[in-house]
Amino acid sequence: MNSNLTLFERAKRVIPGGVNSPVRAFKAVGGTPRFIAHAKGAYLWDAENNRYTDYIGSWGPMILGHGHPSVVEAVVKAVETGLSFGAPTEREIELAEEILKHVPSMQMVRLVSSGTEAAMSAIRLARGATGRKKLIKFEGCYHGHADALLVKAGSGLATFGNPTSAGVPPEVAQHTIVLEYNNIPQLEEAFTLHGKELACLMIEPIAGNMNFIRASAPFAKRCRELCTEYGALLVFDEVMTGFRVALGGAQSVMGVVPDITVLGKVIGGGMPLAAFGGSVDVMSHLAPLGAVYQAGTLSGNPVATACGLATLKIISEPNFYAHLSQQTRRLTQGLKNAANQAGIPFQTDSEGGMFGFFMLDELPQNYAKVMTTDSPRFNRFFHGMLEKGHYFAPALYEAGFVSSAHTNADVDSTVTAAAEVFATL
Ligand code: KE4
């Protein structure tokens, strides 16, 4: 049996940092990543056969837990009839119809293979549809790694963003304005200065890349009003929240209607599948109908669509989210009680199967506040829980996820473990 450390050393020889996505490397929390050998229900087993109760769920997709029998059956059946054709299939129509049924702000949807691809395409579509270059995003929101979105706030509203990554030319970053989440005065000033040049405003309606921060109702309303007033498109990045916080996503919880919605994660059920959609008018700008080019060899892949459809079929059953929300709240309230008993400040929020927590005195409303968290203490919490067999996100700015496979006993054992860990913090 290979140890996690042996595998990590071997991986680092052939894959940059030993991982195919940076957050998996445990850089923020330190230590050795767990190399997962197999998973079932709410549990993961690593290469050393240690079992973990999983609160990452592949960063959101595994809303049914791992290896749900109906999903596995649908995937196996799809595999047996062909892996990929590069031609249209009926199942893509079925999945598109199912998505549109639950997200009424979309009249048409294009399937792609990753959230990054969906967000990147949504920006190109907004620019093509409006003939404008600039876009607004918010500090702490992550929309995948397309160049235009790897940008941090400039020195002021008049100046534009600066790249957060090497390899992103300033000429690209300059069209991106980065604002503070939940800051209405700043939002209004940005529209006054640049509104007529804005193609879109892209936002995570519940920011899962800042752990869990809701756009306040007045802020979300103002984003909608200003986009309408200035003719910019409001883009909700629901890659994480779509079908995770509710069947209709965060937009159904908030009652705000975006012009474009970006989806991913849950709609693929763990397979590479994402999507973006909007009105017929907006989506008709996309090739082959319109002049905005967008394409993909594996877009709408027949195995991925089978996995997504099987997942959506189960989560759209009555009371699915009522039960899931209950399990999530059982966890978050249990953690809060355990932390408070240990004298540790603990704020938490959740919606559906997505949650966040902050060892802070107040629930933060923006990125700067989130980053005041005592990260060494968070790291001790993370490792303490990992040692006890409970796998939380290896970074304090990441959200957590509960699946329908998590039982009361699973959640209660996590809370018991947390009480022991909090006592050591
Ligand atoms: P992907 O390209 O990773 O499929 O999706 C990018 C993306 C877009 N929008 C939102 C709101 C997202 O959360 C993501 C990806 N989320 C991260 C976790 N916060 C994925 C984990 C990773 O990068 O490995």
> Any idea which residue has 């860990």 for tokens?
421
Rounded Cα distance, 95 and 111, in Å: 9
- For every one of its 425 residues, what pLDDT tens digit does the chain have, with 9 covering 90 and above? 799 999 999 999 999 999 999 999 999 999 999 999 999 999 999 999 999 999 999 999 999 999 999 999 999 999 999 999 999 999 999 999 999 999 999 999 999 999 999 999 999 999 999 999 999 999 999 999 999 999 987 666 656 678 888 999 999 999 999 999 999 999 999 999 999 999 999 999 999 999 999 999 999 999 999 999 999 999 999 999 999 999 999 999 999 999 999 999 999 999 999 999 999 999 999 999 999 999 999 999 999 999 999 999 999 999 999 999 999 999 999 999 999 999 999 999 999 999 999 999 999 999 999 999 999 999 999 999 999 999 999 999 999 999 999 999 999 999 999 999 999 99
Helix (H) or strand (E) holding 308: helix 302-315
Query: Is 410 known to be catalytic?
Result: no
Closest CA to 134 of 166, 169, 172: 172
Rounded Cα distance, 251 and 206, in Å: 9
> Any idea which residue has 């913090």 for tokens?
425
> Any idea which residue has 């763990």 for tokens?
270
Distance 193 CA to ligand 1 centre (A): 31
- Atom number, ligand 1, closest to the C-alpha of residue 209: 19
Rounded Cα distance, 123 and 305, in Å: 24
Query: What pLDDT shows up at residue 162?
Result: 81
Distance 157 CA to ligand 1 centre (A): 27
Query: What pLDDT shows up at residue 152?
Result: 86
Query: Is 142 known to be catalytic?
Result: yes
Q: What pTM does this model have? A: 0.98
Whether the CB of 199 sits within 6 Å of ligand 1: no
Give yes or no for a contact between 314 and 320, defined as CB atoms under 8 angstroms apart. yes
Distance 144 CA to ligand 1 centre (A): 5
Whether the CB of 250 sits within 6 Å of ligand 1: no
Fold of 69-315: Aspartate Aminotransferase; domain 2 (3.40.640)
Whether the CB of 143 sits within 6 Å of ligand 1: yes
- Atom number, ligand 1, closest to the C-alpha of residue 23: 24
Instruction: Say if residue 100 is exposed, middle or buried (CB neighbours under 10 Å; 0-12, 13-18, 19+).
Output: middle
Give yes or no for a contact between 306 and 74, defined as CB atoms under 8 angstroms apart. yes
Distance 229 CA to ligand 1 centre (A): 30
Rounded Cα distance, 65 and 311, in Å: 10
Query: What pLDDT shows up at residue 164?
Result: 87
**Relative orientation angle of helices 408-422 and 375-387, to the nearest 10 degrees:** 130
Whether the CB of 397 sits within 6 Å of ligand 1: no
Query: Is 55 known to be catalytic?
Result: no
Mutation to probe ligand 1, out of 58, 116, 235 (largest number of atoms < 8 A from CB): 116
Distance 264 CA to ligand 1 centre (A): 8
Query: What pLDDT shows up at residue 159?
Result: 62
Whether the CB of 264 sits within 6 Å of ligand 1: yes
In three-state secondary structure terms, 401 is: strand
In three-state secondary structure terms, 390 is: strand
> Which residue's CA is the closest to the ligand 1 atom numbered 24?
21
Helix (H) or strand (E) holding 38: strand 36-40
- Atom number, ligand 1, closest to the C-alpha of residue 264: 4
Phi, then psi, of 195 in degrees rounded to 5: -50, -40
Give CATH 3.40.640.10 domain extents, the chain.
69-315
Phi, then psi, of 177 in degrees rounded to 5: -100, 130
Marked catalytic residue, from 55, 134, 137, 237: 237
Say which residues have a Cβ less than 8 Å from residue 366's Cβ, sequence separation at least 6. 139, 140, 180, 181, 182, 183, 210, 213
For strands 354-358 and 151-152, give the pairing. Answer: unpaired
Distance 115 CA to ligand 1 centre (A): 6
Marked catalytic residue, from 142, 181, 391, 397: 142
- Atom number, ligand 1, closest to the C-alpha of residue 24: 24
